[in-house]
Amino acid sequence: MTDKSHDPNQMTGAAMIVRALIDHGVQHIFGYPGGAVLPIYDEIFQQSEVEHILVRHEQGAGHAAEGYARSTGKPGVALVTSGPGATNMVTPLTDALMDSIPLVCISGQVPTHLIGNDAFQECDTVGITRPCTKHNWLVRDVNDLAKVLHEAFYVAMTGRPGPVLVDVPKDVQFATGTYHPPRKSDVHISYTPRVKGDATLIRKTVAMLASAKRPVIYSGGGVINSGPDASKLLRELVEVTGIPITSTLMGLGAYPASGPNWLGMLGMHGTYEANMAMHDCDVMLCVGARFDDRITGRVDAFSPGSKKIHIDIDPSSINKNIRVDVPIIGDCGNVLGDILQVFKAEAKKPDIKAWWQQIAQWRARKSLSYRKNNDIILPQYAIERLFELTRGKDTYITTEVGQHQMWAAQFFGVEEPHRWMTSGGLGTMGYGLPAAIGVQVAHRDSLVIDIAGDASVQMTMQEMSTAVQHELPIKIFILNNQYMGMVRQWQQLLHGNRLSHSYSEALPDFVKLAEAYGGVGIRAHKPADLDGAIKEMISVKKPVLFDCRVAALENCFPMIPSGKAHNEMLLPEEATDEATAKAFAGGKALV
Amino acid sequence: MNQPASAYFLEERHDPNETHTLSVLVQNEPGVLARVIGLFSGRGYNIDSLTVSETESQKHLSRITIVTTGTPMVIQQIKHQLDRMIPVYRVVDMTVTGQAIERELAMVKVRGGGDHRVEALRLADAFRARVIDATTESFVFEITGNSSKINQFIDLMRPLGLVEVSRTGVAAITRGPEGM
């Protein structure tokens, strides 16, 4: 600290920022210096409590902070300069907003007297980031800075978590003012997220669950965000009620994939049993999920015969896409605790033997099956082997976006919350590699694997350099099919097999690329080589690019075509050209 | 237009549109109006009318009155989306409370002579519009009332030499002793 006055709370704006980070328990921040944040970097240089991870592009800082937040339950912090530094943060901020990830971004701004003058590296940061943050602030007076920083952390972490941004002009960083530690009055009194669910509705929920004939629990990322207790309570509720459970992409790990009541993921590439159970159920308990279009498919044919209960901390998530019968506004963990308490005291396990028999028939369709191949590595097989060979290890998985992401969700069984980091809502290619860096920073001794595609991973490949610099032994497991697989799949299904620009022309040699960065490159061509190569990857204590050469034209099934209902799934063995053409007719305009 | 229904075609639902008046109490801080307007444009909601002014200067509170049109589900979304913004204290749907009074002020400039001028003055009198500026060939009327009354007045002025209109948009308040 460069505090020179007698009052220890008198300090510069830059010093306040570092002090506030320390007061909020922040140990790591991800950032990139520039003209408008130099005073803050000067403060960072002169202390050792907060470790700064230098990235190679601000987007990398944002996703790394997201991975850090998602894997720890703590806020992720990013520090960027004005202008391009801030605009490069727009993607991670939007990503975090869609997936409810607590992110605190501090951005430098040109000095206040230059704001509006089109100064060098000036942009309207709060204007640009207003729609992609939960809230943002421009601090014009150093004496407001402490209050705003504390409020920023509070807003990011409470209610439905999300990204916030504090824009600090350079003159405010230099100015001296009064700092104060966090206190309650720092927060807008208009901001009062509701945590406790309505008791009458909770009682009603218990009665509905107890008398259900065909119930299903549909859980989402909200359960993970609510903290480890919520996942425990969810598991207990499943056990006490005996109800089958499915989850969204974001909610994987809240209930273990090895659990007896697990149906697999639901939605566009979910399992047949999960989607059929959603379609045919009579009572649906939605916990911390938001009826996204990837889940519902055709909305007017979505689970037509069910009464729906929806638990969500964000009132605007309720009745947005699907009308529900019992809306419970509150924190998932809190509400699940209340439901459990009432259920245990007043209700008995519903008699759903017939329902489970029905589900067993759906399961018997084996919707995730694929043809084995001894000559080429199938991507599904690669994930299955990766899962088997990391079983029992302290493993965290991140993904990029595309076919590999769906295969990872289908074939890598996530057992615990906070272990699965993926870009769900925004679908950001390039998320996984920097997110893995963030996870590894928080969990130095764990095995952190980014399941990647050859196209996605090149969007943020430069962060390999970050991993090497900070000695973060992340493992980038690339399912290399030399295509933007999901784009190609849609072109095949919907655009007459005209593969417009979805071929990964001029791919780099990933092994040499890894070596160029100072990491380790591993390649596997044949199924017989795969296990050995994966074991080698796990044992290497350096960043690894694993070039897993997989079948080029494999597609991701099962699939609900856009605009179709849950019971109109296309299963792998049914996906003949003719059936596919028919299933996708008319859906071209949808995404 | 023979698209299958999906989440992207919510507007294809045949729920009838309704018009609602919302009163929104907000912290008067920089950017708050931009947040509210950005919400409407970003999510494709309609704004039929919007008025805003600081109402309690000591507490830095402003009151925004928004008239919007949408299906009941969209109207409910708008209220929830507004309510979850950090600087928003309260959102009250004046149309649902059913007890609200809505008023708008308009200034209407009319130019003409002879019978038209006499007729304009007579109608203004009937509508309780005040003359706030006059020349030998024009009047500016000030009229207050609900939007339909003002619309009607403007329609009547059109053949009498209507030049231009400036309207404030709707302000609303509930009847009875209780505040929002």
CB contact B1 to A (< 8 Å): no
Return the exposure string of A386-403: e unless at least 16 CB atoms fall within 10 Å of the residue's CB, then b: bbebbeeeebbbbbbbbb
Mean of the per-residue pLDDT values of chain A = 95
**Cα–Cα distance measured from residue A188 to residue A428, given in angstroms and rounded to the nearest whole number:** 32
**Cα–Cα distance measured from residue A536 to residue A319, given in angstroms and rounded to the nearest whole number:** 49
> Does residue A467 contact residue A518 with C-beta atoms inside 8 Å?
no
Which is nearest to A135 in space by CA: B39, B44, B50?
A: B39
The alpha-carbon gap from A321 to the nearest alpha carbon of chain B, in Å, equals 7
Once rounded to an integer, what is the mean pLDDT over residues A463-489?
Answer: 97
CB contact B77 to A (< 8 Å): yes
Once rounded to an integer, what is the mean pLDDT over residues A530-557?
Answer: 97
Query: Which residue among A293, A316, A563 sits closest to B81, beta carbon to beta carbon?
Result: A316
- Which ipTM was obtained for this model? 0.87
Residue A419 has pLDDT above 60, yes or no: yes
CB contact B59 to A (< 8 Å): no
**Cα–Cα distance measured from residue A414 to residue A534, given in angstroms and rounded to the nearest whole number:** 18
Minimum Cα–Cα distance from B77: chain A residue: A316
A contacts of B73 (beta carbons < 8 Å): 319-320, 323
The alpha-carbon gap from B70 to the nearest alpha carbon of chain A, in Å, equals 13
Query: Which residue among B5, B73, B89 sits closest to A298, beta carbon to beta carbon?
Result: B5
**Mutating which of A100, A126, A155, A190 best tests the B interface, going by the most B Cβ atoms within 10 A?**
A190
CA angle A157, A163, A168 (to 5 degrees): 105
What are the pLDDT digits (tens) for B50-60? 999 999 989 99
B contacts of A586 (beta carbons < 8 Å): 2-4
B contacts of A190 (beta carbons < 8 Å): 26-27, 86-89
**Cα–Cα distance measured from residue A182 to residue A187, given in angstroms and rounded to the nearest whole number:** 10
Residue A520's pLDDT is 98
Would you call B68 helix, strand, or coil by DSSP? strand
Would you call A114 helix, strand, or coil by DSSP? helix
The alpha-carbon gap from B98 to the nearest alpha carbon of chain A, in Å, equals 23
pLDDT band at B10 (very low <50, low <70, confident <90, very high): very low
Residue B12's pLDDT is 54
Residue B50's pLDDT is 96
pLDDT band at B5 (very low <50, low <70, confident <90, very high): very low
Residue A591's pLDDT is 67
Q: How many helices (H) and strands (E) does chain A have?
A: 23, 20
How many contacts (CB atoms, under 8 Å) link A and B? 78
Residue B22's pLDDT is 97
Residue A100's pLDDT is 98
Query: Which residue among A190, A292, A591 sits closest to B86, beta carbon to beta carbon?
Result: A190
For the annotated catalytic residues of A, the residue numbers are: 58, 120-121, 170, 486
CB contact A563 to B (< 8 Å): yes
**Cα–Cα distance measured from residue A101 to residue A97, given in angstroms and rounded to the nearest whole number:** 7
pLDDT band at A573 (very low <50, low <70, confident <90, very high): confident
Residue A580's pLDDT is 74
Query: Which residue among B10, B83, B86 sits closest to A155, beta carbon to beta carbon?
Result: B86
What are the pLDDT digits (tens) for A261-281? 999 999 999 999 999 999 999
What are the pLDDT digits (tens) for A343-363? 999 999 999 999 999 999 999
User: Could you say which residues from 133 to 152 on chain A have a Cβ atom under 8 Å away from some Cβ of chain B?
Assistant: 134-135, 138
What are the pLDDT digits (tens) for A66-87? 999 999 999 999 999 999 999 9
pLDDT band at B4 (very low <50, low <70, confident <90, very high): very low
Residue B8's pLDDT is 42
Residue A2 has pLDDT above 70, yes or no: no
Which is nearest to A432 in space by CA: A74, A25, A53, A64?
A: A64
